[in-house]
Amino acid sequence: MRMNEVSFTDAMPVDGYGPGFFRVGGQVVEGAVLLSDTGIAPWGGYADAESLMALVGDVDVLFIGTGADVAHIPAYLRSRLEEAGLGVESMTSPAACRTYNVLLSEGRRIAAALLPV
């Protein structure tokens, strides 16, 4: 088996998560979080659409982590983001963390909005 070292350039991967927190780039962040190539920011959940809209043009796909369980994001939020040209994929937060890390290592233009587990 060939092993390759993963490089994340300037962006920070999700190192771990637990009840109510995420560890990103070695830093523990409490509560919901928004990750992109510009850094880590608190996220106000589904009601905080403006933080997500600020990603339009800089990001091709936004992963929305819905917490420990799979859930649909509000239809108005999905519609608004997709109409602005942002691809949206919702999944559990653990799955969103893993997917974010893989695509981040490939240099993709992605972001993740994560609700805690």
Q: How far is CA 44 from the centre of its chain?
A: 13
Q: Which two tokens stand for residue 27?
A: 């830093």
- Bridge-partner residues for 59, per DSSP? 56
Residues 30 and 108: their CA atoms lie apart, in Å, by: 26
Please give the helix or strand (H or E) that residue 95 lies within, else none: helix 93-105
The 10s digit of each residue's pLDDT in 23-79 is: 999 999 999 999 998 899 999 999 999 999 999 999 999 999 999 999 999 999 999
pTM over cut 0.85? yes
What single-letter amino acid sits at 104?
A: L
By CB atoms closer than 10 A (0-12, 13-18, 19+), residue 48 is middle
